[in-house]
A and B are shown apart, each in its own frame.
Chain A
Amino acid sequence: MSNELQKFQDPGLPEHVHRKTDLDPKAADRAERQVAILFVLSAISTVVAIYSYIFIPDNQYFFLPVMGDTNAHQLLLGLGMAFALLFIGLGLVLWAKELMPDTEVIAERHEFRSPDEDRADFVRTVKEQASASGLGRRSLIKRTLGLALGISALTPLVLLRDLGPLPKKELEKTSWKKGTRLVTDPGNRPIRPEDLEIGAVAQVLPELVEGQERTLSDIGKDAVLLIRLRPSEFQLDAERLSWTHDGIIAFSKICSHMGCAVALYEQQTKHLLCPCHQSTFDVTRAAKVIFGPSARPLPQLAITVDADGYLVAQQPFTESVGPSYWERSS
């Protein structure tokens, strides 16, 4: 305890220092005028904002350094509003700081813990109530109540069932079938191998059957990227090589990590890069993952040409496209 006694003593709250505005009525009047000027500036800014809203056409642009081409209507409306608010705020703060009484006040704080007697009373009451409910003794009631409450939570869960259909086999399926033509996106034109030069990339979709409409959900599974290399550049096994046609190889464009569109192709390295999380796939080795968080290659679509010389799918995708999910088998 001796150590405690030797601590530096609290000298107490320092004496209040009066502001100039407390001592000099002239300074106070000056502060009042400053506050008033700020409020007037705010009012003027509001007028600027309203004027801009009504009289400046919203398609008028002018050049400003740093900001570039700027919409005059939007800028002046915004600046008017901003300064109207700012000047009110600054005026209020200045008023408070310069003119309102600023003497520091000490308020007492009380420990939250109640006096021992009250506390004991309260604790006893809660104990009595707890035991009066009989929950401790009547375990049958306790258990059945638990059952009832627990099971009643199922109703709201069940009620949410109709939010959507069951996934069934939906995540495994795409619109690609044997013989489906590859068509350009956009444009929906069928493609011949000679339309693609070596090094070229094209996004394709399955050709629509008469009367069918393409939804975004279809694109989310069907999007395919075509890349043409020199056939000698592939390092594929015989099966995968047979899935290519004349140096043209097709991969699902939907990332096997989290489903973003894998759209960045580096022509020099022949790498496909997903802009979302930088998973990098080597096109020459059947989109093997060479960097980043994806754990699987992009699914390859087997392609060939039909009798009319257009590119078509040899068969549907042999695995699910897009991100993984529990029911996915490989």
Chain B
Amino acid sequence: MSKVERIGGNVASYVDDRTGAAKWLRKNLTKVFPDHWSFMLGEIVLYSFIILLLSGTFLTFWFDPSQRDVIYQGSYEPLKNIEMSASYASTLHISFDVRGGLLMRQIHHWAALIFMAGMIAHLMRVFFTGAFRKPREANWLIGVGLVTLGIVEGFLGYSLPDDLLSGTGIRIAEAIIQALPVVGSYLAFFAFGGAFPGHVFIPRIFTVHVLLLPGIFLALITVHLMLVWYQKHTQYPGPGRTEKNVVGYPLMPIYMAKAGGFFFIVFGVTALLGAVASINPIWLYGPYNPGQISAGSQPDFYMGWLDGLVRMAPPIETHAFGHTISWNILIPGLIVPGILFTLMALYPFIESWMTGDKSEHHLLERPRNNPNRTAIGAMSLAFILVVLINGGNDIIATNFHLTINQIMWFTRIGVLVIPPLVFVITKRICLSLQRADREKVLHGRETGRLVMLPHGEFIEVHEELTPEQKFTLTQHPQPAALIVPTTDANGVLNPQGFKGRIRARFSQAHVEQIDAPTESEAKALGGGHH
């Protein structure tokens, strides 16, 4: 028996003596996780969250979240003797007078961007593969909550340094609060302790940024992972993989080593970015002053789409009975994002209503095999991308020699026209891909090899797929459309007929598929040979 084995055995006995958890632990140490690159997206998010906790703690050792006025006396010459808030001065101190401080600031900011980008990528993976279906709806909801909080947390984080750029961002946030009907100016005065910008906002959002939201994140991430653990991970379809099994690698040691190694790789890449790629150089912006601004003021990317929506809003305000309602702020700033996030959160329930599908799903779907869902996802992405373009209209205008007006009108019209177009095109592409799959299964793979037959005819050699490939391309279930009875057993018109007809229509659109080829079809064609 090797030394490692002996120690391992002793540890196992020690733990069991004190917990009696031998059976449970054994089961979980050999828990099987399926392997696929797209399952690492969520891991990236988890690891960047840990990096954020570590680097963020480092920053709090020097950061002074206060808006008290100080005269800067640090080593950055251009700002010497200039009056600024203590939070801006201490951010300069971290950047120039704490060794490794700038590195940590940049790691923290890059990690935040990776955190958000990773969440979006993970969300897309879950959406397009149908991983959110029963029994995983709760985890989808938690995920949507995490994305929403992530946007808020990121915004608060880059607002803390109190530089000219971030102060402008807070000004805009204040305007959104102020625009709320009835309570707006009260809420704004409570949040800012009086008129904007006041002296209390930075310390207040600091507490939210470093304590309240990270605490909620920790709780939600824990539940999210516990559910993944308990419900077992989904897997991609393939030979040997069914709804009733999980094919993969055991947690110990290989999965642990891979996941642990991946944590170090994510941390390493983030540190590399922090070392070589400058991000948010706040010393170039100067301290915040509500009377000043810099051209090309841009938020971080995950806020950009909101900014783009606000930019494209038509200039509409209602003035009536001595009151003002700013539709130009409320619609793009609250109403449209609110509708989008609500629909996103409810999507699993909407889809299950459309399909009438109440069964458990552990096998993922290839996006092409659910054309309607894929088209809905692509449509939503198109919407976000169009408004994101408008969020950077000033930068795009200067770099591509366009006018802001051109971009604004392109996106104002585009935001209404492009998403539906993308829906239709995506759905057609999915169906075409299904046809291509069908072709491949029935007639084999095009090898690109041309053969001249003895009588002079040229043919391309098709290679028959392996049974594994054929199964993978044809295993997906193809449910029929819901049949919603419009009359009851006695022929009386169903009072819910209208609702039922709408549901049937949605259901029909959702199940539109190309028939998957069957073995008998293949046989009829002569075993797939040409």
Contacts and interface: CB of A to CB of B under 8 A. Distances in A.
Do these two chains interact? yes
B311 interface: yes
B508 interface: no
B15 interface: no
B267 to A, nearest CB: 5
A326 B257 contact: no
Contacts of A166: 186, 189
A293 B314 contact: yes
A105 to B, nearest CB: 5
A263 interface: yes
A216 B289 contact: yes
Contacts of A74: 100, 102-103, 275
A107 B248 CA distance: 8
Nearest to A88: B264
Contacts, number: 335
A53 to B, nearest CB: 6
A8 B271 contact: no
Interface string B346-359: 00000000000000
Contact of B99 (A73, A81, A259): A73
A277 B291 contact: no
Interface in B258-299: 258, 260-269, 271-272, 274-276, 288-297
B184 interface: yes
A100 B239 contact: no
A327 B329 contact: no
B313 interface: yes
B79 to A, nearest CB: 14
A216 to B, nearest CB: 5
B45 to A, nearest CB: 17
A293 B315 CA distance: 4
B333 to A, nearest CB: 9
Interface residues of A, number: 99
Given A12-B240, A170-B195, A92 B190 contact: no
A111 interface: yes
B3 interface: no
Interface stretch (B421-429, B444-452, B465-473): B465-473
Contacts of B260: 92
Contacts of A278: 311, 393-394, 404, 408
A86 B264 contact: yes
A146 interface: no
A126 interface: no
B310 A258 contact: yes
B206 interface: no
19 contacts: A6-B520, A7-B474, A8-B467, A8-B470, A8-B471, A8-B474, A8-B519, A73-B99, A75-B276, A78-B103, A93-B258, A105-B32, A105-B248, A107-B245, A219-B290, A258-B310, A294-B315, A323-B326, A324-B329
Given A112-B360, A323-B175, 10 more contacts: A7-B475, A8-B518, A78-B103, A89-B267, A109-B245, A163-B193, A165-B194, A167-B185, A278-B393, A327-B323
Closest 8 CB pairs of A and B: A78-B275, A92-B261, A13-B240, A89-B264, A86-B268, A223-B291, A89-B265, A220-B290
